Every structure is written in structure tokens, then in C-alpha cells.
Structure 1
Amino acid sequence: MPHPPAQDHPREVAGHGLHPPADPRRWAALAVICLAQFMLVLDVTVVNVALPDMAADLRLDRTALTWVVTAYTLTFGGLMLLGGRLADLLGARRTLLAGLLLFTAASLLTGLAQNAGTLIGGRIAQGVGAALLSPAALAIVTTTFHGPERTRALGVWAAIGGTGSAAGVLLGGALTQGPGWQWIFHLNVPVGIAVLAAVPALVPARAPRPARLDVPGALLVTAATGILIHGLVRAGDDGWSDSLTLLALAGSLALYAAFALTERATRSPLMDLRMFTRRPVLAGSFLMLIATALLIGFFFLGSVHLQQVRGYSPLGTGLVFLPAAVAVALGAHLASRLVGRAGSRACAAGGLALAAAGTVPLALQTAGSSVYGVFLPGLVTASFGVGAVFVTATTTALAMIDHREAGLASGVVNTFHEVGASVGAAVVSTVAATGIAAGALDGFTDAYALLAVAATAGALVSLALVPRGKPRLTGGPHVH
């Protein structure tokens, strides 16, 4: 599709009203913004391959390793909606630059970490920066492009997710085996500085819009999820009947309840809970939660399993995971074509059933099983299915509701994306605790079995929860 020519006057687009003149810098701005978003997506998966080396260098136990993964996704997801409101209040460009500056500085701090506290603190700060940057970047994309160009721009934006996941596992392995795991964070610094320099020249400042900040809501939902993860991780060491484990889980439920009450009482809630009365949004949120939990579970377990039990190098582990990351993108591409023909329910149930089938060989593998004959085919099959579920989750939530609610639905679904990553890593870490501690296969196969059961249950739930019918495929907003 050719680029429409730039015009020097407002233009009328059928059904959309007047648009400002097309900015000649818009495609260069998109490239720079996508580069920033690529760093954020990369940092979800890039650390997984480096976990064993981090543990050896900094003497990290299983709990600390789990928080290295979850601290980033927890703050990213918990504060993302607040970041979107700040972009309205302060202006998208200003919020993007603030988030990028924080993310870049936090990356430097994380790479220089000499202990678990500094490492996890840096990951938390990275997540806060990402929560400011990502929604502001998406707001710039949706206001810079109009009509057919917006669909093309959002297509490029969506492709960043799959590309970032694939690059993360390979780049993480190469950097860890080469200059060291610190460089998976240090690499963000020159890229971040370059983007910081380019954004003011390419992205015009726009007037901020009035917005109310629901800070209590953001803090409550983030704290609730953090305490939930603490309880889940603690259960791996002290058991599910441990009093502090039970206290953490109960405290998490209480904070979630307080969050719900706060959102109902405030005039400008962070998350409009009435969106969950929309069946497509509820279904899309569920699918995003379970798909992300499965994918991060595979990456977390597989990277530690291959290096601790199978003796693979970081680069070798990254190469094993590369076909799986590509399979996620291929599954998403196929689902984007099938969902309009077969419908959301069939794609969701089929994708999760495929994920369950692929996970079964992982749960049944033995010490003598071939990595390339058993582990890799199962992982690729499961990843392909999960990729299909990602697209189905987004299209169900955004294309089967009123267009005026697409922005709210997008925020809800993307919050569940990051929460799913945090919870998925915590749960599989707990189930595989004995295997991680002893470098034994048994704990890992138990965790893979749990993922197979979760995918099977998800397929059954989706048959009842996901609406019948075919979504209206549009270029609706989404984060990644």
C-alpha cells in the first residue's frame, strides 16, 4: 500500500472528520518510537537466558531469580494505566521522554548491580519507566497517523512484540556468553540516549488534555499483585500451609478487594471495572492472562532447565529457544487470518489445545530424552498455539465491542498481559523449586505438567467464555 502524499491543509477522511496536515517526519518518528518499544518488549524475555549466570555471579537464590523476571513485568503492568493518564495530563511526548530517561538510567544501574537488592531495584525502576513510555508512545502513534496510515502504523507496532521476543532469547544468550549478562542491560543505554536525542526533533509536542490521576488505584493493584507473587514464591520454599504464605495470599485478596472498592468510588477510575461486564473484554483479558503466563513459564523453565540440567551454554540455550520465539510470531500471523473466518472461540480453544499438546512431551521427558527430538518440537508446538491465542485475545477484546470503548478495553487487556507474565513466572518457579535447587529434572517436569493442565483448562474455559461470532478486524489500539 503506497504512502498517501503529505498535504499542507486539514483533510477530510470519510467517517473520521478533519485531520491535521500529515507531518513529513511521521514515519521517521514511528521508527524511533518503535525502537524504544522494542527495548521494553526485549527486556521481558532477554533476562531469562541469563538467569543461571546472574545466580552464579551474585549468589542469587530461586526467590531472587524469580523476582528478577517478575519485578519488571509487575511494575510495568501495574502502573501502565496510570502512565496513560499521565500522558494525557502532561503530554505524550513529555511523558515518553521521562519514561525513556528513567528506563535508560535504570538499565545502567541494573547492569552495574553487585547484589540482589540493586538488581531487583533496577528492574523495578525499569518497569516504572516502561509504564510511562509505552502508553505515551502508543498515544503518539495513534494521534500522528490517520485513516489507512494508522492501520499500517499499528501493524508495525504490533510486529514489535513478536520480534522483541525472538530477539530477546538470542540476544540474551549471545551477550551473556560474550561480554557478560550485564550487557543485556547496558545495551539499552546507548540506544536509549540515541532515542532521547531523536524524539524532540521528530515528535511534535501537543497540548496536554485534562485528566485525573487515580494514584491510590495504581498503588493498590500493584501492591496486591506484588504480595500475591511473594506468597506464590514463598510457597515453593515453605509450603502452601505456611502461615506467612497464607497471610500473603489473603493480604493480596484484601488489596484486590480494596482496589475494586476504590475504582467504584472514584470519579475517574484507573480501570473501569464495568468493562468486565462486557463479555468480549472479560474473555480477551482471560486469554491474555493465560497465554502470557504460559509463554513466560516456558521461557523461565526452559532457560534454567537447559543450562542447569542439560549443561547448555547461554548461547546454545538462546539458539534452542529461537525457533520457539519464531513460532509465536507465526502462530499470531496465522491466527490474524483465521480469526475472521473461524471466529474467536475456535481460534482460542484451538490455540490453547495446541499449547497443551505441545507441553505434554515436556512433562514426560526423561534424563535420556533428546533436546532436539523431544523438548524442541514440543516447545515449538506449544509456542505456536500460544501465539495464536495472543492475537485472539486482542481481537476479541477490541473488535467485538463498541469502538468508543476500544481504548479502555486495550488498557485492561494489556494490564493482564504483564500480570500474566509475573504470575506465570512465580507459579512455575514455585512448582519447580526442588529441581531448580538441586539441578534435577523432576521439579521441572512437574512444572511443565502444570502448564499442560493450565492450557487444557484454558481451552475448556474458552469454549464457554469466548463469544461466538467473528470479530470485526480493525487497527484498534494495543500496546504489545
Structure 2
Amino acid sequence: MKSYPRTTLAAVCVAGGLLPASLTGASVALPKIATDLGAGLGPLQWVVNGYNLTFASFMLACGAIADLVGRRRMLGIGITLFGLCSLVSGLSSDIHLLDGARLLAGAAAAAVLTAGSALLATAFSGPAQAKAFGILGSSFGVGLALGPSTSGLLVSSFGWRSVFLLHAAIDLALLLALPRIAESRDPGARGVDWGGTVTFTTSLALVTLAMVEGPQQGWTSPVVLGLLAGSVLLLALFVLVELRQERPMFDLAPGSRSAPSGTPSTSA
């Protein structure tokens, strides 16, 4: 398949800028969401917290799966799911449905970021690769900077739903660029390290959830302490699982320099 590096760069950077914009935009929209949906403080906060939780938790898992199934395919899945979740968010009439859509959107965002970064690494090399990642980093900053002001304008002019609907429209446009992005995968990938994926993802999810609940329930509450203890236990189990894997996500053997799953191979 013919490669179009500039198209890859443009698509990945637009998608990358959209991820933080979705976070800050949702934060700006919270007061109007609360009024419109009659949401209490707890469910309302999960519009933002749910996105953060799944985004952080699924990064490593999405990278590992992208190596196996193809990074362009994973990017397409992530963009499609993110767009659908944004559409559902914009049409939601129930706060719990909105929270669920945001949880899925966070997982989709993890797929977009990991697959998109890997695609850039295979589309460019040398100084051009460093420049491409510099542009990607700038797109994150643009998303963070413009997200609140753009969302504030949308909320005041068209209502809070317009923030999510705009993101859905942008995602639809991004799908048009996928045929011009070359597929890549890790040729050495033999399968997903499910043991490592499940233990690490769950451990990270628990510690992230503890960070979310700590300020509300108290850092010494049984719930928060239980979440932290569970996270530590699963992290220890993750280490044991990885030491037994032939091709682990993280090679924890002494002296190993192998890259974790999700890192593009030079032969990809």
C-alpha cells in the first residue's frame, strides 16, 4: 500500500488534539449538563473522571492489541468508537448514559493515541520522525489550550450538546483519511499477553479510581485503602506473570532491553 506520511501526520495530530479538547470541553460543559439533566455532583463528576480512568487504564492494552491486529485498524476502531461515544454523549438525556459513553470514549482515546503514535513512528524516520512527534506534542497543547474557550463559546451559543456533537463530526472527517494511511504491525507479535494486559490494566484502573475517590471519601477510607491494596496486589501479580511469559509486554528479566508492546518494530 502506498504511504502518505503527511496524511498520517495530519490525521494523527487532529485526533491527538481532539483527545485533550474532549476532556477540557466536558469540564466546561458540566454546569449546563447538571442543570439540563438534573444530575447530582457524584454522577456529574464521572463525565470527566470516567474518561480519565479508562484513558489511563487502557493505554498499554491498546498498544499491545494494535501490534497484533494492525495499527491503522486500531486507529480506525478508536476513532469510530470515540465518534460514536461523542454522538451518544451529545444526544444523552440521562446522566448515567452520558457517564457510560464517556467511559467508553476514554478507552477509545487510548486506542487512538497508542495506534496513532506507532503509525507516526513507522511513517517517519530520523530527524523527520522527531519533527513529527514534536508536531504531535504541539497538537496536544493546542487541544488543551483551545478546548475550554471553544467549548465555552459552543455551550453559550448552542448548548452543551454541541461540544460532543462537534467532536463526533470531526471524527467522521478523520475516517475519510484512513485509506491513505499505510498499515503496520509488529511482525514478531504472536498474540496478546492477556495475563499481563489484564493484571496491569486492572491495577492501573484501581489506582486511578483511588485517586478519583480519595478527595471525596477521604484517603484513609476503607474504599480508597482497598482500591490501593488491590492495585498493589495486582501489580505484584503482573510482575510474576511477565517473568513467566515468553514474549511479555514488559521484559522484566535482569539486563533486558526489549521494548514494551506497542513500540513499533524497525521492520514494521
Going from structure 1 to structure 2, the CA distance change for 1:267 and 1:207 (only over 3 Å counts) comes to closer
The aligned counterpart of 2:183 is 205
CA positional deviation for 1:198:
1.8
Q: Which has the higher contact order (CA 8 A, sep 6+)?
A: 2
Once the 2 structures are TM-superposed, how far is the Cα of residue 187 of structure 1 from its aligned partner?
A: 0.9
Q: 1:429-480: per-residue Cα shift (whole Å, max 9, x none)?
A: xxxxxxxxxxxxxxxxxxxxxxxxxxxxxxxxxxxxxxxxxxxxxxxxxxxx
Deviations 1:394-435 (A, max 9, x none): xxxxxxxxxx76x64997xxxxxxxxxxxxxxxxxxxxxxxx
Counterpart in the other structure of 2:49: 70
| 1:26 paired residue number | 5
Say if 1:63 and 1:233, in contact at 8 Å, map to a contact too.
Answer: no
Pick aligned residue for 2:110 from 123, 131, 134: 131
Residues 280-318 of structure 1 deviation map (CA, whole Å, 9 limit, x = unaligned): xxxxxxxxxxxxxxxxxxxxxxxxxxxxxxxxxxxxxxx
Whole-Å separation in 1 of the counterparts to 2:45 and 2:15: 25
Q: 2:129 aligns with which of 139, 150, 161?
A: 150
Please report the TM-score for the alignment, with normalisation by the length of structure 2. Answer: 0.83
Give the aligned partner of residue 182 of structure 1.
Answer: 161
Does the CA contact (< 8 Å) of 1:74 and 1:222 recur in 2?
no
One-letter amino acid matched to 1:34:
C
Give the direction of change, closer, same or farther, for the CA distance of 1:169–1:203 in structure 2 (3 Å limit): same
Whole-Å Cα distance in 2 between the matches of residues 217 and 409 of structure 1? 11
Q: What is residue 233 of structure 2 aligned with on the other side? A: 254
Determine the structure 2 residue equivalent to 1:42.
21
Q: How many residues align?
A: 262
TM superposition shift of 1:162:
1.0
CA offsets, 1:132-170, max 9 Å, x none?
221211122111122332222222112111111101111
Unaligned 5+ residue runs, structure 2? 264-268
Q: What is the alpha-carbon distance in structure 1 between the residues aligned to residue 78 and residue 128 of structure 2?
A: 26
Q: Is the 8 A contact 2:60 2:262 kept in 1?
A: no
**Highest CA radius of gyration, 1 or 2?**
1
Counterpart Cα distance in 2 of 1:231 and 1:109: 27
1:369 aligned residue: none
Q: Is the 8 A contact 1:228 1:248 kept in 2?
A: yes
2:172 paired with 1:193: yes
Q: What is the CA distance between 1:48 and its match in structure 2? A: 1.6
Pick closer, same or farther for the CA change 1:48–1:272 going to 2, 3 Å. farther
- In 1, the alpha carbon distance for the partners of 2:114 and 2:16 equals 10
Match 2:76 to one of 97, 105, 108: 97
Cα distance in 1, alignment partners of residues 146 and 17 from structure 2: 10
For residues 113 and 183 of structure 1, the distance between their equivalents in structure 2, rounded to whole angstroms, comes to 12
Aligned mate of 2:94, from 115, 120, 125: 115
**For 2:204 and 2:135, how far apart are their aligned partners in 1?**
31
Aligned 8 A contact 2:67 2:262 in 1: no
Distance in 2, Cα, partners of 1:198 & 1:256: 39
- CA deviations 1:239-287 (Å, max 9, x no partner) are 4554444433333332333333333333333344579x99xxxxxxxxx
Pair 1:222 & 2:188 matched: no
8 Å Cα contact 2:60-2:261 kept in structure 1: no
Task: Find the aligned partners of 2:200 and 2:160 in 1 and give their Cα distance.
Answer: 31
Relative distance call for 1:89 and 1:57 in structure 2 (3 A) is: same
Report the CA distance between 1:97 and its aligned residue: 0.9
Amino acid at match of 1:270: M
1:17-416 superposed matches below 5 A: 23=3, 25-200=4-179, 202-206=180-184, 209-211=187-189, 212-272=191-251, 408=260
Q: Say whether the 8 Å CA contact 2:250–2:261 is kept in structure 1.
A: no
- Against the structure 1 CA distance between its residues 52 and 215, is the aligned structure 2 distance closer, same or farther, given a 3 Å change threshold? farther
TM-score by length of 1: 0.49
Q: Read off the aligned partner of 1:81 and give its amino acid letter.
A: L
Change (3 A) 1:94 1:244: closer
What does the per-residue CA deviation read over 1:112-139, in whole Å, with 9 as the maximum and x for residues that have no partner? Answer: 2222321121111112212222121112
Instruction: Assess if the C-alpha contact under 8 Å between 1:47 and 1:69 holds in 2.
Output: yes
In structure 2, how many angstroms separate the alpha carbons of the residues matched to 1:172 and 1:245? Answer: 33
Letter paired with 1:197? L
Q: Give, as a single letter, the amino acid of the residue that structure 2 aligns with 1:203.
A: I
Distance 1:230 1:78, change over 3 A: closer
Between 1:241-250 and 1:103-112, the stretch displaced more is: 241-250
SS of 2:58's equivalent in the other structure is helix
Q: Aligned AA for 1:174?
A: L
Q: Distance in 2 between matches of 1:221 and 1:93?
A: 24
Query: Once the two structures are superposed, what CA deviation does each residue of 1:364-402 show, in whole Å capped at 9, x if it has no partner?
Result: xxxxxxxxxxxxxxxxxxxxxxxxxxxxxxxxxxxxxxx
Correspondence list, 1:410-449, <5 A: none
Change in Cα spacing, 1:51 to 1:31, as seen in structure 2 (3 Å) is same
Question: 2:8, 2:31 → 1: CA distance?
Answer: 38
Please report the RMSD computed on the Cα atoms of aligned residues, expressed in angstroms.
3.0
CA distance in 2, matches of 1:141, 1:233: 32
